[in-house]
Structure 1
Amino acid sequence: MTEPVTWVCVICGWIYDEAKGSPEHGIASGTPWGSSSAHARCPECGARHEDFEEVQA
């Protein structure tokens, strides 16, 4: 099992932490970013999965 990753939308700055998920957007904790079509776009600005970058710890 891989460690959860944190992602940032390069368009609007929205941050997604895989460990926490985003319950307010219907994404359960532990869900990898982009794991389904429902999570393939930024819930804040609609940016594509390709517009996200991994946040380095």
Structure 2
Amino acid sequence: MSEPYKVWQCRTCGYTYEEAAGDANEGLAPGTRWADIPDDWICPLCGTPKRDFDMIEL
């Protein structure tokens, strides 16, 4: 069984990235894992780097 999808939240603005949903506006297909997003990716709302996101429990 595969790992459950996770949700990641920007520490600066609160934008959330849900692995299960992806983000079509960012070119990220549903099911795209956080680890598969490039390290130089930034928050589409405020420009915060990927390293400043936290995994959250919903």
Question: 2-side partners of 1:40 and 1:13: how far apart?
Answer: 16
Q: What TM-score do the two structures reach when normalised by structure 1?
A: 0.81
Deviating above 4 A after TM superposition, structure 1's stretches of 4 or more consecutive aligned residues are none
Q: Which residue of 2 aligns with 1:36?
A: 37
1:10–1:51: 8 Å Cα contact kept in structure 2? yes
Q: CA deviation at 1:14?
A: 0.4
Larger radius of gyration: 2
Q: What TM-score do the two structures reach when normalised by structure 2?
A: 0.80
Unaligned stretches of 5+ residues in structure 1? none
Please give the root-mean-square deviation of Cα atoms over the aligned residues, in Å: 1.8
Match runs of 1:1-57 below 5 Å: 1-37=2-38, 40-57=41-58
Q: 1:49 to 1:6 in 2, by over 3 A?
A: same
In the comparison of the two structures, how many residue pairs are matched? Answer: 57
1:33–1:39: 8 Å Cα contact kept in structure 2? no
Q: Secondary structure at the match of 2:25?
A: helix
Unaligned stretches of 5+ residues in structure 2? none
Q: CA deviation at 1:36?
A: 3.2
